[in-house]
């Protein structure tokens, strides 16, 4: 066998060594293609107490009227997910519980749930999934969306009737909401839907996104705009707005949320509703909770756009 020249042998050895070195520096199993795997995020932990309002085992969730979580969140009524359904075993409305809340950048859940007492002021009737402001109807798909007046992130007064003739997708948030499964997730889903549709040549052109804050004391136009910019929003397609309580209270009540100027924080019920409205002004779909994905929202938006020939609703007053 003919031997390689010494210079070529050295070059070949160098190439083999370089290939071995690069393979050792490449991404490991489960790492993203662009780099090495990042270490799992360590959750922040909070000790929480509250009273069970209702248990939703099919969702692995429990609705709790929780006390203030210092340094994180005010007192409120809201659902918490569990990783293990056994955490909910034996729980019932009225149980006073203590638990650990764990929070990462993109997720939140509770565990080590234990009953520490009972609340005799929690009647069985309070296990109802929706609490409404008085004389405000709960709206469903097919109903005409009432007209409300808001102020957007640019300081401009807008009305929901301004969106007639377009597909409108709106949800409810407040910018101080720290729990990743709630307002941050809703805003991220809107950001992803906006981007996905912008990349689709056949996407509906008559589309608007609207995020409605129910924290008017804090969420000024400047703050709403700064919040939106963190999510790379397109102001031509997506608005953020809030309004006076005489507008927000019935609007949130129409979709089963309970917020109001005279509602104490511990009685506020922060559930989630995302609504898609047809160009005619009628509600096309209501996506509850946070169990939907971007593709679900886009599918409803496209279906609503296909109804563009519907006659406009003649009266959108309240």
User: Residue 41 pLDDT > 60, yes or no?
Assistant: yes
pLDDT on residue 261 = 73
CA distance linking residue 263 with residue 17, whole number of Å: 70
pLDDT on residue 154 = 97
Token pair for 47: 């000790």
For the chain, the distance separating the N- and C-terminal CA atoms, rounded to the nearest angstrom, is 94
Strands 207-213 and 238-242, bridge-based pairing: parallel
Q: The domain 149-305 is classified under which CATH number: 3.40.640.10, 3.40.30.10, 2.60.40.1180, 3.40.605.10? A: 3.40.30.10
Of 289, 271, 215, 249, the C-alpha closest to 53 is 271
Of 54, 97, 292, 273, the C-alpha closest to 183 is 273
Would you say 143 and 115 are in contact if contact means Cβ atoms under 8 Å apart?
A: no
Q: CATH 3.40.30.10 occupies which residues in the chain?
A: 149-305
- The residues, ordered by sequence, that sit 6+ positions from 64 with a Cβ below 8 Å of its Cβ are 48, 50, 51, 52, 53, 77, 78, 79, 80, 97
**Mean pLDDT of all residues in 250-263:** 81
- Scanning the chain, the segments in alpha helix (DSSP H) are 6-25, 183-198, 221-230, 245-254, 294-305
Radius of gyration of the chain (CA): 25
Q: Indicate the pLDDT class of residue 259, thresholds 50, 70 and 90.
A: confident
User: Residue 6 pLDDT > 70, yes or no?
Assistant: no
pLDDT on residue 77 = 86
**What's the DSSP call for residue 256?**
T
CA distance linking residue 108 with residue 299, whole number of Å: 27
As its CATH architecture, domain 44-127 has Beta Barrel (2.40)
Residues recorded for the chain = 318
Of 243, 72, 246, 226, the C-alpha closest to 170 is 243
Would you say 154 and 196 are in contact if contact means Cβ atoms under 8 Å apart?
A: no
User: Residue 115 pLDDT > 90, yes or no?
Assistant: yes
pLDDT on residue 177 = 86
From residue 263, how far is each of 14, 52, 126, 132, 134 by CA, in Å? 73, 19, 16, 12, 12
Q: CATH 2.40.50.320 occupies which residues in the chain?
A: 44-127
**Mean pLDDT of all residues in 85-107:** 95
Average pLDDT over the chain reads 83
CA distance linking residue 301 with residue 285, whole number of Å: 9
Token pair for 95: 């149980």
Greater confidence (14 vs 154) lies with 154
> Tens digit of pLDDT for each residue in 197-224?
999 999 998 999 999 999 898 999 999 9
CA distance linking residue 241 with residue 234, whole number of Å: 14
**Mean pLDDT of all residues in 18-41:** 43
């Amino acid at each position: 066998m003919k031997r390689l020249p010494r210079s070529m042998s050295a070059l070949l050895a160098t190439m083999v060594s370089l290939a071995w070195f690069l393979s050792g520096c490449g991404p490991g199993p489960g790492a993203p293609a662009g780099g090495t795997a990042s270490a799992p995020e360590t959750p922040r932990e909070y000790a929480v107490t509250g009273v069970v309002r209702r248990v939703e085992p099919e969702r692995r969730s429990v609705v709790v009227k929780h006390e203030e979580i210092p340094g994180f969140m005010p007192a409120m009524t809201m659902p918490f997910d569990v990783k293990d359904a056994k955490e909910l075993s034996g729980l019932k409305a009225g149980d006073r519980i203590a638990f650990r809340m764990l929070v990462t950048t993109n997720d939140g859940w509770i565990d080590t749930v234990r009953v520490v007492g009972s609340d005799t002021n929690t009647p069985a009737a309070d296990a109802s999934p929706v609490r409404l402001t008085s004389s405000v109807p709960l709206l469903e798909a097919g109903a005409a969306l009432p007209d409300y007046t808001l102020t957007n992130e640019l300081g401009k007064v807008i009305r929901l009737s301004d969106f007639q003739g377009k597909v409108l997708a709106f949800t409810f948030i407040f910018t101080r909401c720290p729990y990743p499964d709630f307002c941050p997730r809703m805003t991220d889903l809107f950001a992803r839907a906006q981007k996905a549709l912008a990349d689709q040549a056949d996407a509906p052109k008559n589309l608007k996104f609207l995020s409605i804050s129910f924290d008017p004391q804090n969420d000024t136009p400047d703050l709403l705009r700064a919040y939106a910019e963190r999510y790379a929003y397109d102001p031509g397609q997506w608005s953020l707005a809030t309004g006076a309580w005489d507008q927000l209270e019935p609007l949130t009540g129409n979709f089963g949320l309970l917020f109001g100027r005279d509602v104490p924080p511990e009685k506020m019920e922060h559930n989630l509703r995302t609504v898609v409205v047809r160009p005619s002004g009628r509600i096309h779909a209501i996506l509850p909770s946070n169990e939907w994905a971007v593709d679900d929202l886009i599918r409803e938006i496209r279906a609503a756009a296909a109804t563009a020939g519907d006659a406009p609703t003649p009266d959108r007053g309240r």
